[in-house]
Structures are given as structure tokens and as C-alpha cells.
């Protein structure tokens, strides 16, 4: 065949590996590497993190990073708290002449340097492991096979990096990708493909994605799919597996698992609870129900204490919790009864009666841990997002108030008095976790010396006269057998005004049912009370 009739079949450039090592850099260490003349250095990170400086440029290395340094460049790597484990390959790029003779005097240029993409990275690792394993073999055929592996590695890298340059604005590229995901969430997609489409290296893509959304890509995609699934569950009668496929999940089992992890409830139960009005009874936990946007069908009531007026449930029928049987609750046709652990332990027989006619769940958290209780109730009702939003709002408010009160409450102490007609007791059960735990106002040492039971039994006037706390908060406990209003006679007693905080006008009355309760709404009102009352202190 005439050479003019044919075409050149060999590449213009060959890449020849000259060495391979597996290297490790310990935490808080540094290493410097340089290759021989004309050699490129390729670094593929297996694990760890470090800063690498190549020439005048610095790169952040993490697991699955791939970096190529040009000939003559010295690399300097510095680790901090993490070690670094990586492959180091040196290679040459050699030009091929028209006579198919290698020309060492005219080295070629490798088209990609700096940080590169290598997806899937597992493919790179497989090739590198095999290359390193056979790098010392003397058999010529095996050495040739190893060269083929190296050329396959180079092909894999060039295929992903030589076509186009990295996007000039990586954040804009990732933002566009996020918009694409929002519009095509139901389509099959992988992080590797999304990064490749955005022309961003995968490790950069994931980092920037989280900076922009607060989530890694897979979490973001699943959240989008679940949110659309929730809409379909409420707006259609489609079967669960049909909805799962429609929003992009391959199978119903995985959809159910992801849905329950995000929402705290299975898809079918979510549909049941939200398509209609769920009728719920949760005596003395109405605060938490309202926080979740659920109005109870009946509210807690007590002959001595009355109702929880701060909740504003005047239009809701009341149920007296002192009666021996809770079977009358069935007349309100509840779908679910939720009981606090303390109530169940005190009224086990009554709640066991409830289990005969309706599902009755017992919350096992300590009553004072209203955040955990709220989360548990939210899981039961499929309202996890509402619970987390409420808790975050409360934490933000408390943090702000603590900063406002930093100077006024520093080194200040308090006591909370529960005033009834029969005695004055010291409360810690309902108020300590709020005043001390949330706001940072410290109980007076005399209070801290009392156990909860000792404080509940009541203290003497002589004890109160020695109580030199900076603040006193007190509420009137109306559950007694004396005439209405008799509890207020305690503060007309001659010794009342000998108590230091009372004498200094630092004794503040608060609402009994608000302060003797745990919950988002109750605690928000307590915060407002403290701000208002302490503002009066000069």
C-alpha cells in the first residue's frame, strides 16, 4: 500500500511511566517532592487531607483528589490534624516523529495540569493498585501489561479533563446544576454525572453544593423527591409504589425508608393523618399539639387548678382529669390518645381503659424535656419539620435573651415559691430547667441544698427570712380545701415583707399554669415574663 493512501495510526504523543510509589504523610507534617528533568508528577489521594503547593499555586487535597505537576515544579505538602495517603506517579510525555521514532530531545506537553477530575475514582484506584503491585516485575510481558494499565489511566484522565477547561465561576456552575436538579428531580442522576455536566471536579462540586444549600447533593435530591411525594400523597389516590416511581425512587422499599427517615412516619400513615382532620387527645400536652398546628378535641382541666388559660382554648370542651374513669373520652371520638409518662404512671388504670377503645401512645421522656417530647409527638403525627422549626425559633430567642440579660443576671440568684393556702413550697421541678438551664439565672444556694421532695413539702417563715436571693418568682397554687382566694393571705402575712427580695421589690408574681408547665408556648411566655419583670429592676 502506498503510504500516501494510508493514514497515521499511532498517536503523536506517548506517555511513559517512570516510577510509582505509595506515600504517607503523618499529621502535622510536611514533605517536599521533585521529579527528574522532563518528568510530570501525578498525585492521587487515597485518604486524608493536606495543603499542596505546586509552584506558586496551592491546592486543598482531600480523598479522591487528583493533581498533576509540570516538569521542573517542586511540590510541598503540609498536613494538619489529618494524615495523607496517596499514590505518586512520575511519567514523561514523548513526541512521535513521522518516522515513528521516539524523539527524546523533543518532549511533548501533557495537556492537563493542576487539579483534575477522575470519575469514578474507584476506576483510578483499581488501575493504580494494579500498576503499583506489578511495578517491580521483570517479566517483559507483564511490564508491557503494566504499561497498558498506565495508558488506560491516562486515557481515563484525559477523557474527562482535556475536552473543556474548568468553569470560570464554579459557584455559578453549581447554582445552575441546582436549578437543573429542581426541575428534573425525578430523573436518574448521580453526583459524578452532575459534577461532570457542571464541568466541576466532584469534590469541589459537593463542597460548593453544601455551601449553597446546607446539604450534600444526595440529601438535597432525596428531600426534593420526598417533598413532591408528600404533595402527591395528599392530592391523589395513587398507590405508594406509583408515587415512589413518579418522584424518582427505584423501588417502594427504599422510598418508604427515606420517607420515614425524613418525616418520622411512613408514607401511608402520613397520608392518613393529613388528608383529614386527626382527632387527638393529649391531656396536659395541648401546648405541644398547638405548637405542631394541631387543635385537640378536648382539653385538660382540674377542679383545683382550672385550665391552661394561656393556651386560649376557650372554645374546646374541658375534661376533668380527677375522675376515676377516662372512658368518657370515647365520646369525643378520638383517633389517637397521647399520654405523658408521669400522667400514665399516676393514672395507669385510666389510660389502660383508653387502650380498649382507641390507640393510646405513652411518651417516655421526662416531662421537663419538652424538646424531646415535642419531637416524639411530631414523629407520631408526621410533623417533624414543624417541631424542628419551633425548637430552632425557641433556641434563637433564648440565646438572644441570655445576651441581653448577661450583665443584669451575672452572679444573681433566684428562688421560685409555690404559694398555697396551706404552705409555701420551693419549686424546682417545673422552673429550674428554664430559669437556670435556659436563661442562666442560678438557684440560690439554700434552694440548691433542698431536694425536690424537701422543697415540695414546704419551708418555714424562718427559712424564708434567711433567703437572700436576688429575685423571687412566685405563683399561687389554688388546689387546697380552703375558701377561694385564701392562698393570697400568705403575702399579707407580716413576715412576708421581711424576705429580702420582697423588701427590695424584687419579688414577681407569675401565672401558675404557665410556669407549672413544660412546652414551647409555655416557655416562650416565661421568657417574655422574665424580660418584662427584670426590666423593672433598677
In order, the DSSP letters of 190-255 are -HHHHHHHTT--HHHHHHHHHHHHSS-HHHHHHHHHHHHHHHHHHH----HHHHHHHTT-S-HHHH
- Rounded to 10 degrees, the C-alpha dihedral 286/290/291/294 comes to 110
The mean per-residue pLDDT over the stretch 357-381 comes to 89
- pLDDT at position 533 is 92
pLDDT of residue 538: 58
Nearest of 247, 20, 56 to residue 129 by alpha carbon: 20
Q: End-to-end CA distance of the chain, in Å?
A: 107
Q: Which residues contact 216 (CB under 8 A, 6 or more apart)?
A: 206, 209, 210
Average pLDDT over residues 82-110: 73
Q: Is 269 exposed, middle or buried (0-12, 13-18, 19+ CB in 10 A)?
A: middle
How confident is the model at residue 125, as a pLDDT?
A: 84
Burial of 100 (0-12, 13-18, 19+ CB in 10 A): exposed
Model pLDDT for residues 317-354, shown as the tens digit of each residue = 999 999 999 999 999 999 889 999 889 998 999 999 99
In sequence order, which residues have a C-beta less than 8 Å from that of residue 509 and are 6 or more positions away? 474, 475, 476
As a whole number, mean pLDDT of residues 212-238 equals 88
Q: Are strands 336-340 and 280-281 parallel, antiparallel or unpaired?
A: parallel
Mean pLDDT for the stretch of residues 372-387: 88
User: Once rounded to an integer, what is the mean pLDDT over residues 163-186?
Assistant: 78
CA 287, CA 320: separation in Å to the nearest integer?
17
pLDDT tens digits, residue range 259-296?
988 888 889 888 877 666 678 999 999 999 999 999 99
What fold is seen in the domain 395-534? Rossmann fold (3.40.50)
> Residue 435 carries which DSSP code?
I
Q: Which of 67, 87, 85, 89 is nearest to 29 (CA)?
A: 85
Give the pLDDT confidence score for residue 99 in this predicted structure: 53
**pLDDT number for residue 365:** 86
- Is pLDDT of 2 > 60? no
Those residues whose C-beta lies under 8 Å from the C-beta of residue 408, and which sit 6 or more positions away, are: 534, 537
Going by pLDDT thresholds of 50, 70 and 90, the confidence category of residue 422 is very high
- Which pLDDT band, with edges at 50, 70 and 90, does 232 fall under? confident
Counting every residue written for the chain, the total comes to: 538
Whether residue 80 is predicted with pLDDT greater than 50 in this model: the reply is yes
**Domain boundaries of the chain, sorted by first residue:** 13-161, 170-267, 277-382, 395-534
Q: How far apart are CA 60 and CA 45, in angstroms?
A: 11
Which residues are 95's β-sheet partners? Answer: 13
Mean pLDDT score, 423-446: 95
Q: Is there a cis peptide before residue 120, judged by omega within 30 degrees of 0?
A: yes
| Sequential DSSP letters for 510-526 | --HHHHT--SHHHHHHH
The set of cell numbers assigned to 124 is 483510578
**SS3 at position 382:** coil
Q: How would you write 295-360 as a 3-class SS string?
A: CCCCEEEECCCECCHHHCCCCCCEEECCCCCCHHHHHHCCCEEEEEHHHHHHCHHHHHHHCCCCEE
Task: Check whether 56 has a pLDDT greater than 90.
Answer: no
Give residue 4's pLDDT: 42
Out of 186-195, 496-505, 514-523, pick the least confident. Answer: 186-195
Cell of 411: 452572679
- Provide the pLDDT confidence category of residue 162 given band limits of 50, 70 and 90: low
Residues 436, 429 contacting (CB under 8 angstroms): no
Compute the distance between CA of residue 39 and CA of residue 17 in angstroms, rounded to an integer: 9
Measured at the alpha carbon of residue 87, what is the angle toward residues 82 and 88, in degrees to the nearest 5? 115
Whether domain 277-382 has CATH 3.30.1330.180:
no
What pLDDT score does 465 carry? 96
Q: What residues form DSSP beta bridges with 167?
A: none
pTM exceeds 0.75? no
State the average pLDDT for the chain: 88
Please return the burial class of 442, using the count of CB atoms within 10 Å of its CB with bins 0-12, 13-18 and 19+: middle
CATH code given to domain 170-267: 1.10.10.60
State how far the Cα of 271 lies from the Cα of 470, in Å rounded to an integer.
53
Note the pLDDT tens digit of each residue in 196-221: 888 888 888 999 999 999 999 999 99
Domains 277-382 and 395-534 alike in fold: yes
Whether pLDDT at 95 is above 50: yes
354-to-283, 298, 303, 325 alpha-carbon distances in Å: 12, 14, 21, 9
**Residue 413 pLDDT > 50, yes or no?**
yes
- Ranked by mean pLDDT, which of 88-102, 125-139, 312-326 comes out on top? 312-326
Output the pLDDT for position 106: 54
How far apart are alpha carbons 342 and 367 in whole angstroms? 7
CATH of span 13-161:
2.60.120.280
Q: Which residue has the cell 440565646?
A: 399
Which residues lie closer than 8 Å to 426 by C-beta, 6 or more apart? 415, 416, 417, 418, 447, 450, 455, 456, 459
Q: What is the mean pLDDT of residues 13-18?
A: 86
Backbone angles phi, psi at 326, to 5 degrees: -100, 5
Structure-derived torsion over alpha carbons of residues 255, 258, 264, 269, reported in degrees to the nearest 10: 0
Give bridge partners of residue 474 from the DSSP assignment: 417, 509
Per-residue pLDDT, 198: 83
Tell me the sheet residues that pair with 91. Answer: 17, 40
Place of cell 504499561: 147
Q: Given this model, what pLDDT does residue 495 score?
A: 96
Q: Is the pLDDT of residue 6 over 70?
A: no
> What does the block give as the cell for 292?
405542631
Q: Which of 536, 537, 511, 535 is nearest to 524 (CA)?
A: 511
Amino acid at each position: 500500500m502506498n503510504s500516501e493512501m494510508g493514514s497515521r495510526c499511532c498517536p503523536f504523543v506517548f506517555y511513559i511511566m517512570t516510577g510509582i510509589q505509595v506515600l504517607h504523610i503523618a499529621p502535622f507534617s510536611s514533605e517536599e517532592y521533585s521529579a527528574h528533568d522532563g518528568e510530570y508528577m501525578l498525585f492521587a489521594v487515597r485518604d486524608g487531607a493536606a495543603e499542596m503547593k505546586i509552584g506558586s499555586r496551592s491546592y486543598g487535597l482531600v480523598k479522591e483528589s487528583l493533581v498533576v505537576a509540570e516538569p521542573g515544579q517542586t511540590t510541598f505538602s503540609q498536613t494538619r490534624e489529618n494524615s495523607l495517603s496517596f499514590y505518586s506517579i512520575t511519567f514523561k510525555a514523548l513526541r512521535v516523529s513521522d518516522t515513528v521514532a521516539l524523539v527524546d530531545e523533543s518532549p511533548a506537553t501533557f495537556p492537563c495540569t493542576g487539579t483534575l477530575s477522575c470519575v469514578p475514582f474507584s476506576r483510578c484506584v483499581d488501575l493504580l493498585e494494579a500498576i503499583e503491585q506489578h511495578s517491580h516485575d521483570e517479566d517483559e510481558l507483564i511490564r508491557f501489561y503494566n504499561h497498558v494499565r498506565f495508558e488506560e489511566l491516562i486515557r481515563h484522565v484525559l477523557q474527562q479533563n482535556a475536552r473543556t477547561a474548568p468553569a470560570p465561576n464554579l459557584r455559578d456552575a453549581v447554582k445552575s446544576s441546582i436549578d437543573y436538579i429542581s426541575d428534573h428531580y425525578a430523573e436518574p442522576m448521580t453526583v459524578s454525572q452532575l459534577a461532570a455536566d457542571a464541568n466541576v471536579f466532584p469534590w469541589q462540586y459537593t463542597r460548593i453544593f453544601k455551601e449553597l444549600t446546607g446539604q450534600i447533593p444526595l440529601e438535597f435530591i432525596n428531600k426534593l423527591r420526598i417533598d413532591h411525594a408528600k404533595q402527591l400523597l395528599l392530592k391523589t389516590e395513587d398507590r405508594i409504589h406509583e408515587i415512589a416511581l413518579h418522584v424518582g425512587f427505584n423501588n417502594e422499599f427504599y422510598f418508604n425508608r427515606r420517607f420515614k427517615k425524613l418525616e418520622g412516619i411512613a408514607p401511608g400513615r402520613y397520608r392518613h393523618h393529613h388528608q383529614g382532620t386527626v382527632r387527638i387527645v393529649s391531656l396536659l400536652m395541648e401546648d405541644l399539639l398547638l405548637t405542631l398546628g394541631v387543635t385537640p378535641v378536648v382539653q385538660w382541666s382540674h377542679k383545683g387548678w382550672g385550665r391552661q388559660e394561656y393556651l386560649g382554648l376557650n372554645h374546646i370542651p374541658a375534661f376533668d382529669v380527677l375522675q376515676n374513669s377516662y372512658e368518657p373520652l370515647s365520646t369525643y371520638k378520638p383517633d389517637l390518645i397521647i399520654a405523658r409518662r408521669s400522667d400514665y404512671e399516676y393514672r395507669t388504670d385510666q389510660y389502660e381503659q383508653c387502650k380498649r377503645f382507641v390507640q393510646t401512645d405513652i411518651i417516655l421522656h421526662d416531662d421537663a424535656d419538652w424538646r424531646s417530647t415535642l419531637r416524639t409527638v411530631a414523629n407520631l403525627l408526621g410533623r417533624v419539620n414543624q417541631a424542628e422549626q419551633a425548637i430552632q425559633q425557641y433556641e434563637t430567642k433564648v440565646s438572644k435573651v441570655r445576651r441581653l440579660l448577661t450583665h443584669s443576671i451575672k452572679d444573681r440568684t433566684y428562688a421560685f415559691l409555690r404559694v398555697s393556702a396551706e404552705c409555701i413550697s420551693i419549686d424546682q421541678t417545673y422552673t429550674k430547667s428554664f430559669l437556670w438551664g435556659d436563661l442562666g439565672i442560678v438557684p440560690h444556694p439554700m434552694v440548691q441544698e433542698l431536694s425536690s421532695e424537701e422543697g415540695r413539702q414546704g419551708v418555714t417563715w424562718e427559712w424564708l427570712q434567711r433567703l437572700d436571693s436576688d429575685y423571687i418568682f412566685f405563683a399561687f397554687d389554688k388546689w387546697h380545701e380552703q375558701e377561694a382566694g385564701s392562698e393570697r393571705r400568705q403575702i399579707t402575712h407580716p413576715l412576708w415583707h421581711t424576705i429580702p427580695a420582697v423588701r427590695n421589690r424584687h419579688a414577681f408574681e407569675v401565672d401558675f399554669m404557665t410556669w407549672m408547665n413544660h412546652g414551647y408556648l409555655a416557655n416562650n411566655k416565661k421568657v417574655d415574663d422574665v424580660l418584662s419583670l427584670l426590666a423593672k429592676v433598677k
